[in-house]
């Protein structure tokens, strides 16, 4: 990072100091862990999903998360309304294209929202590849529901193309997280193999990225800081847990503790 960019520590502190209000239009399966994680990192969660209320609430939110898991017609209307307001007001919003590619409704929704210029697209490698294929109307295969069958490096070309379309950032989650934007790639190594065994760790990361984008205009750095915090907390939790259940509790506590960065970060 150049000296003009904020440090990871300053972004972490800014989130806690400003307590950003994150409007989460998200998968019903992960609402509780999403709220818990946001509170742990110092943000305030809200799950307002009525279409009219979502439009009103987006106007006062610090950031908006759109997670397309389990979409139904009212939620889709709420997502479109919230994104419209966020764009009008310049509020950062994050797109999480959960399991796109194999399911028609969410794939069409997510691919259309790409053109609404999300600050960050956060997804696993298969979701990034499939989202790019949907946007460009080309064929792609990969993924198994919310699970990726592709490695993050294989999604770099698709991520770069999506970042060019949005003018924003694409964050690829995996064993190595890769943050991509114009002329910049950052790799983050860390985390734990226990994370995929806890429901909602990926989806709640989208909410944390949203919170972090509310704390700085440098959205690439915000995504790096959010992923580094996640990786650090996971590494710490894995050392103090006996399995997925205790890992979950230790991981939330570690996010709350705001531990010094343990993740390995590589810039290119």
| Residue stretches of the annotated binding site for ATP | 122, 173
Binding residue numbers for substrate: 47, 200
Geometric angle at alpha carbon 264, from 96 and 207, rounded to 5°? 20
Tell me how far apart the 2 most distant CA atoms of the chain are, in Å: 47
Q: In 3D, which of 252, 221, 222 has the Cα closest to residue 234?
A: 252
Q: DSSP letter for 186, please.
A: E
- From the number of C-beta atoms within 10 Å of its C-beta (0-12, 13-18, 19+), residue 145 rates as exposed
Who contacts 23 (Cβ-Cβ below 8 Å, separation ≥6)?
A: 46, 48, 54, 57, 58, 61, 63, 64, 65, 82
Phi/psi class of residue 45: alpha, beta or left (left: φ > 0; alpha: ψ in -120 to 50)?
beta
Token code pair at residue 165: 């379309």
Count CA atoms within 13 Å of residue 247 on its CB side. Answer: 18
Annotated binding site: 47, 122, 173, 200
């Amino acid at each position: 990072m150049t000296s003009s960019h904020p440090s990871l520590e300053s972004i972490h502190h800014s989130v806690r100091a400003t307590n950003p209000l994150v409007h989460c239009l998200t998968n019903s399966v992960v609402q509780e862990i999403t709220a818990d994680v946001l509170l742990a990192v110092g943000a305030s969660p809200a799950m307002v999903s009525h279409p009219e209320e979502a439009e009103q609430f987006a106007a006062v939110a610090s950031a908006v998360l759109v997670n397309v898991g389990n979409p139904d017609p009212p939620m889709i209307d709420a997502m479109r309304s919230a994104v419209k307001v966020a764009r009008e007001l310049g509020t950062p919003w994050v797109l999480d294209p959960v399991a796109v590619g194999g399911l028609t409704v969410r794939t069409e929704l997510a691919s259309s929202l790409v053109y609404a210029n999300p600050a960050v697209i956060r997804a696993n490698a298969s979701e990034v590849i499939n989202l790019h294929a949907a946007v460009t109307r080309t064929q792609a295969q990969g993924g198994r529901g919310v699970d990726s069958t592709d490695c993050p490096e294989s999604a770099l070309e698709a991520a770069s193309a999506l970042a060019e379309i949005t003018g924003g950032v694409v964050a690829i989650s995996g064993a190595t997280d890769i943050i991509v934007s114009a002329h910049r790639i950052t790799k983050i190594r860390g985390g734990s193999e226990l994370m995929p065994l806890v429901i909602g760790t990926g989806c709640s990361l989208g909410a944390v990225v949203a919170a972090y984008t509310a704390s700085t205009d440098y959205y690439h750095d915000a995504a790096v800081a959010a992923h580094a915090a996640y990786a650090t907390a996971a590494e710490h939790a894995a050392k103090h847990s006996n399995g997925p259940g205790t890992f979950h509790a230790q991981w939330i506590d570690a996010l709350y503790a705001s531990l010094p960065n343990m993740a390995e970060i590589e810039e290119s």
